[in-house]
């Protein structure tokens, strides 16, 4: 079966879960065309991503103006469908944070996507994230009647469902994949009751690069290195994490923290580190490759994610698969994978003292306790997040077999 994957930016260092999904679906017999808006000039070093970039068609690589002739050509070929698509773009503008000009650009992008799909003889389009990428796919459906589906990750889609017209996107889709039961419940809130049956659960998956059998535990009695992976922004909670780390250090806990990522809040994070004299205890890596992230997980004693809002972070799954304990918050889909004091340590989001206590509790665990936690964590992630199983689910939904 010939299908097209449509992504806002591909490949991308934080989108390895999409790459795994595409590659596994190809192993299962799909002929997949990759189409993205951007990413042809991204700074990537991963060899697999470099290979993926060579396979990807880019909508905006030749510039936005080059989409205008495609629009008019399609208008002449399919005037009725084009008028319907324009009306849908106008409808998407209502309550949107963006003006009609943006939504008209999405329509132009949809025209180009239709051309790519026609060249590939595409039978189905799948998008990731229920934001502008899915709007482009929805408009392409109005222009061509090609079935589409999309995966919702959160939290952005759940923060502004009315602005994103989630209900409209669900209504026109063949099905929608949520990455957790929590995510499905949030989609139920905004979808029409008649569309609830379209909403399926397809977890993000790990491949053999992570699922290689019971991992080795990294246990040392000296300084514990905690790793926090993610964009430096409010919802990831790094500033409160720094407060908690300082409080734990003040209590005599021997720890250091690595922040793997970059973002708008980096100046604030750096200012906090300098002000509280944490330079020798906290490191910021900036953006790094997926291989470097994996190596950092292996080198660390535990992963900590203090997020206020999430879907279900792939970084958690990767740490669990590599034998590193996870310390994180009771939010979104996380408790579906982690149970406190069994296969991880959970604490309330936004609570500095609770975060500090969780850090200290981890540093006081015995080697046997860490080994037991890691073993249960590995079992959980293998059971719930194997890419072969999850891609098979997605394949059956695309084919209409389930």
Same domain, 163 and 96: yes
Alpha-carbon span 160 to 163, nearest angstrom: 5
Tell me what pLDDT residue 198 has: 98
Which tokens sit at 211? Answer: 């699922």
Cβ–Cβ < 8 Å for 209, 16: no
**For residue 55, is pLDDT > 90?**
yes
Tell me what pLDDT residue 350 has: 97
> Average pLDDT for residues 328-332, to the nearest whole number?
97
Alpha carbon of 341 to those of 24, 264, 325, 326, 346: distances in Å? 33, 34, 10, 10, 8
Nearest of 95, 63, 104, 19 to residue 289 by alpha carbon: 19
- If one compares 14 and 247, the residue with the highest pLDDT of the two is 247
Q: What is the pTM of this model?
A: 0.95
> Average pLDDT for residues 110-117, to the nearest whole number?
98
Cβ–Cβ < 8 Å for 355, 330: no
219 lies in some domain: no
Tell me what pLDDT residue 287 has: 87
233 lies in some domain: yes
Same domain, 390 and 372: no
138 lies in some domain: yes
Tell me what pLDDT residue 103 has: 98
What is the CATH number for 127? 3.40.50.2000
**For residue 42, is pLDDT > 90?**
no
Sheet holding 199-201, edge to edge: 56-58, 31-38, 2-9, 124-128, 147-152, 175-178, 199-201
Same domain, 41 and 188: yes
Cβ–Cβ < 8 Å for 181, 336: yes
Tell me what pLDDT residue 283 has: 98
Same domain, 306 and 238: yes
**For residue 402, is pLDDT > 80?**
no
Alpha-carbon span 292 to 278, nearest angstrom: 23
* pLDDT band with cut points at 50, 70 and 90 for residue 230: very high
Tell me what pLDDT residue 220 has: 84
* pLDDT band with cut points at 50, 70 and 90 for residue 289: confident
Cβ–Cβ < 8 Å for 245, 281: yes
Average pLDDT of the chain is 96
105 lies in some domain: yes
CA 179, 329, 368: angle at the middle one, nearest 5? 100
Tell me what pLDDT residue 44 has: 85
CA quadruple 184, 185, 186, 187: dihedral sign: positive
Same domain, 135 and 258: no
Residues 6+ apart with CB under 8 A from 332: 154, 155, 180, 182, 183, 309, 310, 311, 312
Same domain, 190 and 232: no
**For residue 138, is pLDDT > 80?**
yes
> Average pLDDT for residues 379-383, to the nearest whole number?
97
Alpha-carbon span 188 to 178, nearest angstrom: 11
DSSP string for residues in 257-313: EEEE---TTHHHHHHHHHHTT-TTTEEE--S--HHHHHHHHHHSSEEEE--SS-S--
Alpha-carbon span 163 to 108, nearest angstrom: 20
Tell me what pLDDT residue 107 has: 98
Same domain, 123 and 239: no
214 lies in some domain: no
Containing structural domain, residue 250: 224-384
Alpha-carbon span 339 to 316, nearest angstrom: 13
**For residue 358, is pLDDT > 80?**
yes
The percentage of the chain sitting over the pLDDT mark of 90, rounded to a whole number, equals 93
Cβ–Cβ < 8 Å for 228, 305: yes
Same domain, 164 and 289: no
Same domain, 133 and 257: no
Please give the tally of structural domains in the chain: 2
- Residue 16: phi and psi, rounded to 5, are -65, -25
Tell me what pLDDT residue 221 has: 85
CA quadruple 267, 268, 274, 279: dihedral sign: negative
Same domain, 195 and 236: no
**For residue 9, is pLDDT > 90?**
yes
Same domain, 244 and 166: no
Tell me what pLDDT residue 370 has: 97
**For residue 291, is pLDDT > 90?**
no
Cβ–Cβ < 8 Å for 180, 313: no
Same domain, 38 and 116: yes
């Amino acid at each position: 079966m010939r299908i097209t994957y449509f992504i806002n930016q591909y490949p991308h260092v934080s989108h390895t879960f999409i790459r795994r999904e595409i590659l596994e679906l190809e192993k299962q017999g799909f002929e997949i065309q990759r189409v993205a808006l951007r990413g042809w000039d991204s700074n990537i070093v991963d060899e697999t991503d470099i290979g993926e970039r060579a396979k990807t068609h880019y909508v905006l690589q030749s510039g936005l103006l080059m989409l205008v002739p495609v629009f008019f050509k399609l208008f002449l070929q399919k005037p009725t469908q084009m008028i319907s698509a324009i009306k849908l773009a106008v409808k998407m503008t209502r309550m949107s944070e963006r003006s009609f000009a943006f939504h008209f650009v999405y329509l132009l992008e949809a025209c180009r996507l239709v051309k790519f799909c026609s060249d590939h003889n595409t039978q189905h389009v799948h998008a990731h994230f229920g934001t502008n990428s899915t709007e482009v796919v929805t408009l392409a459906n109005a222009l061509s009647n090609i079935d589409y589906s999309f995966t919702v990750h959160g939290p952005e889609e759940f923060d502004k469902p009315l602005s994103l017209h989630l209900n409209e996107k669900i209504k026109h889709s063949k099905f929608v994949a949520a990455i957790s039961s929590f995510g499905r419940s949030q989609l139920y809130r905004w979808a029409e009751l008649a569309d609830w049956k379209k909403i399926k659960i397809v977890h993000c998956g790990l491949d053999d690069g992570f699922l290689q059998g019971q991992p080795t535990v990294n246990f040392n009695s000296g300084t514990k290195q905690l790793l926090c992976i993610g964009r430096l922004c409010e919802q990831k909670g790094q500033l409160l994490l720094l407060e908690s780390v300082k409080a734990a250090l003040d209590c005599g806990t021997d720890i250091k923290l690595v922040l793997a990522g970059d973002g708008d809040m980096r100046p604030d994070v750096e200012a906090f580190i300098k002000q509280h004299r944490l330079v020798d205890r906290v490191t910021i890596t900036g953006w790094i490759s997926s291989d470097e992230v994996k190596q950092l997980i292996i080198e660390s004693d535990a992963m900590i994610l203090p997020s206020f809002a999430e879907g279900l972070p792939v970084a958690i799954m990767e740490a669990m698969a590599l034998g590193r304990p996870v310390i994180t918050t009771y939010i979104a889909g996380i408790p579906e994978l982690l149970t406190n004091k069994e296969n991880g340590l959970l604490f309330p989001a936004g609570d500095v003292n609770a975060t500090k206590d969780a850090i200290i509790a981890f540093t006081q665990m015995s080697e046997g306790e860490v080994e037991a936690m890691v073993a249960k964590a590995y079992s959980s992630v293998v059971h719930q997040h194997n890419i072969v199983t999850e891609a098979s689910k997605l394949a059956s939904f695309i084919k209409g077999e389930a």
